[in-house]
Amino acid sequence: MSATAASSVFDDALRNLDRAFDYADIHAEAIERLKHPKLAIEVSIPVRMDSGELRLFTGYRVRHDDTRGPGKGGIRFHPGVTLDEVKALAFWMTCKCAVMNLPYGGAKGGVIVNPKELSHMELERLSRGFIQRIADFIGPDTDVPAPDVYTNSMIMGWMTDEYSKIRRQFTPAVITGKPIPLGGSEGREDATGRGAYYCLKEMESERDWTPGGITVAIQGFGNAGQAVARLLAADGYRIVAVSDSSGGIYRASGLNIPALIHAKEAGSHLAAIAADPTIGGDAIDNASLLALDADILIPAALENVLTADNAAQVRARHVVEVANGPVTSDADAILRQRGIQVLPDILANAGGVTVSYFEWVQNKSGWYWSRDQVHQRLQERMAAEYRSISTLAARHDIDLRTAAYAQALGRIGRALTAQGTREYFIGGKG
């Protein structure tokens, strides 16, 4: 991401507040508070490399709001991380937790690094070093991190262990997305993609779709993209294109998703798999995938992939945001004007934080659930919140994004105004 693009991410994210304000039960003072993150820190992390060289990495943690509960949000390792980006991601987490009615606020963290350039030992030192720097800033009742881009359950395990060493007590609830033997939850690994799938099943029911007649293109074939592809393909949806950072594959008759996932897990990139006559297809780049004539487009990689420059080229009827912030506000306006329905990220990809909440609850209670129980509870919550937002959108004749933010702002606003507003404080004695 360029510095120019990154500098506008937070301001762009805040534009959703203004659109939703007229439909939300929220005081103007509460809106103003949401425009300013509560806390933000920048740290330097010294790491002794395998070569003996000392390198310093920059990391960030932002707690946007904790009115409704501890901050909640992932940690990403990526060379394009900026403070402004982390602020935007923390803001989205505040709204996402409110959409799902979770007792959390929003937070996010990141380290400027390309983890693919590190050895496993260097990655562990960096992960533990970051926690050493932010240990006073996080905690089970303060701010609870989780995995994000280029971090995973093993990294979360290292981070939890480091925090526990610092506190001199086993503290599994400090971080979610951990390995199951270290206090992780069943069903966490595919929760983001599964949550999007449950939303799509609600859309299917509303619109009386026949899955075999619906085509899907997925930009981003990491954990979340693979999960939603696997679940949709199993139901008969025709996944015609997928891509990763190396490029992608297109096949009009539909791709063999289980075989592609197996090849990816074996270490292959999609650009290389495309040439395989048994499971490949036509090579396609990410820009072309976004413009494919498919019924559903699922951006599942990074933010800002649909902008004012390419939104007019989108031919899908529905865009489902499995990534955080993949559609800029300018692009959103273009899609809305063209009648393309966008299922917003603060609902579509909220399965991850919802199962993170389940993990946190299990850690605190010491009572662990089966995979089927996790799936059932996730499905019930995703379906209920989707139906609530869809009803709100229909009632006010607004798009799903505006309805989702209106629902979030209503819940956040009630918590913020419970502490008093101008009208209370000028109203006389208590």
Question: Which are the catalytic amino acids?
Answer: 108
How open is the CA angle 185-186-192, to the nearest 5 degrees? Answer: 85
Say if CB 204 and CB 171 are below 8 A apart: no
C-alpha distances (whole Å) from 68 to each of 84, 280, 336, 415 are 23, 47, 31, 7
Q: Which of 163, 50, 44, 192 is nearest to 113 (CA)?
A: 44
Would you tell me how many other CB atoms lie within 10 Å of the CB of residue 338? 12
Across 98-121, b (16+ Cβ under 10 Å) vs e yields bbbbbebbbbbbbbbbebeebeee
Closest by alpha carbon to 150, among 242, 79, 241?
A: 79
Which residues sit opposite 108 in a β-bridge? 62
* Segment holding 47, helix H or strand E: strand 39-48
* Token reading at 117: 């350039």
Give bridge partners of residue 299 from the DSSP assignment.
219
Dihedral Cα 406, 409, 93, 206, nearest 10 deg = -30
* Residue found by looking up tokens 């505040």 in the block: 94
273-301: burial string, b at 16+ Cβ within 10 Å, e else: bbeeeebbbebbebebbbebebbbbbbbb
88 vs 62: CA distance, rounded Å: 9
The answer to whether 107 and 38 are in contact (CB under 8 A) is: no
SS3 282: strand
Residue 400's nearest CA partner among 320, 325, 300, 298 is: 320
For 216, the enclosing helix (H) or strand (E) is strand 215-219
216 touches 196 (CB < 8 A): no
